[in-house]
């Protein structure tokens, strides 16, 4: 009996799941979600760094993103605070959905949106290398020679983050996606202060990308447009996928029904589905 259990692949999966649960202290859906997010983070930043090395500042093939509105928008280094708040906003949204959303509908909707946007950004940056020239010598001198704490933080950001691979803005896309999914949750909408905070934070992050000369207004427009496209297509695509799965399941059910012992096998198939 013991030998039969050890030869069963399901036995090893259950043993592995039990080990991970003991190590992490998380239930299976939680650590699975955590691994999904961390795995995609590794995938994204690996490819992003490759893009940054391939399309560096000064690369001759860059498409310069610019609109007249960019020249009108003033530089205000205090917006470095909401710009950096993007990291906490996204981490909080993922953490909240991973832990709170037991059913998974909000978690899956947000992660699919996030993964889609980031992957689209990587693919577009690969075939359409882009950048901006918004950080002029005059602006750079003004910020680098300042003793203002916000200016110094902005100067550090500019040194660490290049002005290439900016279209569309992922700061904007991710912030809008996080705000949309949080505002879909009735428990969040019930609290006026929480709702206002989410919206104000998302809008502040969006504005910061332009005010800090990190992105052109075109980057922002493209990111918001991508959000709208995703939201418009999400329900129809999910419905289509569900119908395809249902047809495949129905076809498999018919094929099983024609086999000897169909009642038992069909019941097992239904449980696994």
Query: Is residue 155 domain-resident?
Result: yes
pLDDT of residue 53: 84
CA–CA gap between residue 134 and residue 84 (Å, rounded): 20
| Total tally of structural domains belonging to the chain | 1
pLDDT of residue 9: 57
Sign of CA dihedral 254, 257, 263, 268: negative
Q: What is the DSSP letter of 74?
A: P
pLDDT of residue 273: 38
Query: Is residue 179 domain-resident?
Result: yes
Query: Is residue 33 domain-resident?
Result: no
Query: Is residue 31 domain-resident?
Result: no
CA–CA gap between residue 113 and residue 203 (Å, rounded): 19
List the Cα angle 186/174/38 in 5-degree steps. Answer: 95
pLDDT of residue 272: 40
Give residues with Cβ within 8 angstroms of 253, minimum separation 6.
266, 269
Query: Is residue 260 domain-resident?
Result: no
Query: Is residue 6 domain-resident?
Result: no
Query: Is residue 43 domain-resident?
Result: no
| Residue the block writes with tokens 């940056």 | 125
pTM of the model: 0.80
Query: Is residue 238 domain-resident?
Result: yes
Structural domain harbouring 178: 55-244
Mean pLDDT for back-to-back runs of 10 residues, the chain (273 residues): 51 58 59 91 93 78 93 96 97 93 91 96 95 92 94 94 93 97 93 95 98 97 96 89 80 47 41 39
pLDDT of residue 124: 96
């Amino acid at each position: 009996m013991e030998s039969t259990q050890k030869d069963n692949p399901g036995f090893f999966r259950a043993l592995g799941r039990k080990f991970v649960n003991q190590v992490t202290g998380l239930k299976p859906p939680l650590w699975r979600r955590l691994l999904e997010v961390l795995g995609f983070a590794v995938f994204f930043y690996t490819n992003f760094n490759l893009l940054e090395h391939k399309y560096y500042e000064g690369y001759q093939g860059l498409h310069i993103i610019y609109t007249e509105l960019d020249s009108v928008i003033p530089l205000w280094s205090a917006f470095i605070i909401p710009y950096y708040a993007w990291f906490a906003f996204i981490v909080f949204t993922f953490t909240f959905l991973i832990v709170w959303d037991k059913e998974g509908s909000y978690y899956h909707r947000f992660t699919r949106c996030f993964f889609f946007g980031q992957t689209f950004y990587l693919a577009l940056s690969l075939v359409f290398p882009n950048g901006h020239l918004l950080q002029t010598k005059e602006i750079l001198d003004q910020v680098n020679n300042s003793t203002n704490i916000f200016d110094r933080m902005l100067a550090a950001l500019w040194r660490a983050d290049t002005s290439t691979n900016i279209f569309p803005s992922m700061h904007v896309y991710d912030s809008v996606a996080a705000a949309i999914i949080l505002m879909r949750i009735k428990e969040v909408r019930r609290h006026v202060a929480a709702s206002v905070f989410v919206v104000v934070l998302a809008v502040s992050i969006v504005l910061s990308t332009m005010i800090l000369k990190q992105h052109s207004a075109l980057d922002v427009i493209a990111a918001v447009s991508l959000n709208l496209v995703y939201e418009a297509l999400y329900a129809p695509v999910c419905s289509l996928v569900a119908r395809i799965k249902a047809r495949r399941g129905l076809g498999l059910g018919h094929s099983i029904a024609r086999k000897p012992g169909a009642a038992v096998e069909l019941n097992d198939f239904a449980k696994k589905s």
